[in-house]
Structure 1
Amino acid sequence: MKPHNVMMTPYGGAVLIDFGLAKGVDAGKGTSLSGGNHTPGWAPPERENGVTGPTTDVYSLGQLLWHMLTNQRPGVISEEARLEKMEELGHPEWLGELVNYATVPHSADDRIQSVAEFKVRLENQGEMP
C-alpha cells in the first residue's frame, strides 16, 4: 500500500486500488493483502524475505499515514525524529505514537497486529478501549 494505490472519489472518500498482485484473503486465518510485489520504504523489512501477514499491511498503512500527515516519503527515521516532526507540524502526540507503533521495523510482533486494531486505536486516540 502506497499513495499511488489510493484514489480519491468525487465524494471525498478513498478507495484502495491495484490488487492485481494481491493474494487471497482468508479472514479466519488472518492472511494479508500484501502477498505480491512490494515497494521498498512502504513495505516492512520482513517482506524482503517473502514474509507476509496482517502486520505487513499495518506497517504499510502506518507509512501511508506518515506520508499523508508529513508529506515525507517513508524512510529510515528514528521514533523520536518522527514524534518531533509530527509535533512540529502540529499533530497530536498520540498520532505520532500510533504511526510509530504501526511501523516498528525490527519486529512484527511489536507492531499493531491488524488493520482492525489500527482502526480502533485511530478512533480512540491511540488507545484500545
Structure 2
Amino acid sequence: MSPNGKSDEQWREQLTRDEYRVLREGGTEAPWKGEYVDEKRTGVYRCRACGSELFASDTKFDSHCGWPSFWTPMAGEKVRLLEDVSLGMKRTEVRCANCDSHLGHVFYGEGWDNPEDARFCINSISLTLEPVSGDAAE
C-alpha cells in the first residue's frame, strides 16, 4: 500500500500504463515529448496521481533538458527527496510527499540563474496543470 492507502491494483486501475510506469515504477518519459515541456500558461502543477499541489508556474524555467524544470516546489513538505544511485550515478529523486509517486530528479549547483540554483527536472506525465482561469497558451 502507498502512503495514501491505495493498493498496487488500485493504482493500475486509476493510471494509464505509461503513467503507472513513471509514477509508480520510477520510469522516465522520453525527452521533448511531454505535454508541459514548452507550457507557458500560469497556474499550479499538481501530482497526476493524487492531485497534490507541487509546483507553481512562476518557478518554471526553460533549462533545455527536455523535461519541465522548476527551481523550487511550492512548499518543502510537498515533495520528498531521496538518494538515487541507479544508472551508475548519484542523483536526487523527487517524489510526491502525499502519495509517494515518482516525479523526476533535482540537480543543484549547475549555475542556474534562479534563487536556489536548482533544477527540478520533472516528467510531464507526473503532472497536471491547473491553469489560472482565462489564461490562454502563448
Q: What is the TM-score normalised by the length of structure 2?
A: 0.26
User: Which structure dedicates a bigger proportion of its chain to helix?
Assistant: 1
User: Which structure dedicates a bigger proportion of its chain to strand?
Assistant: 2
Higher relative contact order (CA 8 A, sep 6+): 2
